[in-house]
Amino acid sequence: MNNGEKGYIHSVITGGTVDGPGIRYVIFMQMCPLRCKFCHNPDTWQLQEDRQKSVEEILFDIKKYKNFFTLSNGGVTVSGGEPLLQAKFVLNLFKHLKKENIHTAIDTCGYINIDETILELFQYTDLFLFDIKHLNNEKHIELTGKDNKRIKNFLDELKRNNKNVWIRQVLIPNLTMDTEYINELIKYLDKYRPIIKKIELLPYHKMGKEKWKKLGMEYKLSADTPQKKDLSEIKRKFENNGYDVLLSS
């Protein structure tokens, strides 16, 4: 698309506390290969060519907040959309950030071809927030529009490169919360245990619904929001299996 000097940015937040450790500067990139039915950022999907920023512009802004990061052990997270669709831009940015000793994180769905740029980017990324949508391929297609083979391969690649990972799972009643699914997830994650630093459980919510409406799209997922006691039970299950677990509100 370009040489990575400029990125298509949807928006930024300067005091994020939910996308990685500490206080974070979060950059939401445009475009995503998936179409998750529960997506609360569908406004990032389409390319808006007039919203480009250079690495220098973003760096200039980030440096204004550097003290907040260092005091809180935070840093910079790129999210989206899917940031790895603009891997060259993220690589350029992260090279500068590492020179400044700033912690770097990528929130990814993992639906990405692994090429030289991605492998180089691994060297400059301190943490991956890796979203699992559904382990079952058919259900994954139903939920996101794409199969999960590439996503599972991506997690294998993170393991091969010994990268630190937080696993993120959206908990949706009747889809990703029943005992059978949770047991399967715990079993699946076992071989990645050495790289998993945290499990982040994200209770399904419908806050994105209004955005879908504004964009003229039909929100088709008809699921309830989870019960607190069910969420606590799932959290306990992961903890009993030795994981550090964060249950988001």
Residue 187 within binding range of ligand SF4, rule CB under 6 A = no
User: Please, which of residues 104-123 interact with ligand SF4 by CB under 6 A?
Assistant: 109
> Residue 35 CB, nearest distance to ligand SF4 (Å)?
6
Residue 80 within binding range of ligand SF4, rule CB under 6 A = yes
Instruction: CB nearer to ligand SF4: give 104 or 148.
Output: 148
Instruction: CB nearer to ligand SF4: give 91 or 112.
Output: 112
- Per-residue exposure over 37-67, b if at least 16 CB sit within 10 Å of its own CB, e if not: bbbbbbbbbeeeeeeebebeebbeebeebbe
Instruction: CB nearer to ligand SF4: give 44 or 176.
Output: 44
User: Please, which of residues 197-216 interact with ligand SF4 by CB under 6 A?
Assistant: none
> Residue 248 CB, nearest distance to ligand SF4 (Å)?
14
Between the CA of residue 224 and those of 154, 172, 178, what are the distances in Å?
A: 30, 8, 14
- Per-residue exposure over 92-127, b if at least 16 CB sit within 10 Å of its own CB, e if not: bbbebbeeeebbbbbbbbbbbebeeebeebbebbbb
Helix, strand, coil proportions of the chain in percent (round to 5)? 40, 20, 40
Cβ distance 183 to 150 under 8 Å? no
Residue 85 within binding range of ligand SF4, rule CB under 6 A = no
> Residue 45 CB, nearest distance to ligand SF4 (Å)?
7
Contacts of residue 126, defined as CB under 8 A and 6 or more positions apart, other chains included, come to 75, 103, 104, 105, 164
The count of residues interacting with ligand SF4 (CB under 6 A) is 11
Between the CA of residue 212 and those of 33, 190, 218, 224, what are the distances in Å?
A: 17, 36, 7, 17
User: Please, which of residues 14-43 interact with ligand SF4 by CB under 6 A?
Assistant: 32, 34-36, 39, 41
Instruction: CB nearer to ligand SF4: give 34 or 105.
Output: 34
> Residue 109 CB, nearest distance to ligand SF4 (Å)?
4
Instruction: CB nearer to ligand SF4: give 82 or 200.
Output: 82
Residues at the interface with ligand SF4 (CB under 6 A): 32, 34-36, 39, 41, 44, 80-82, 109
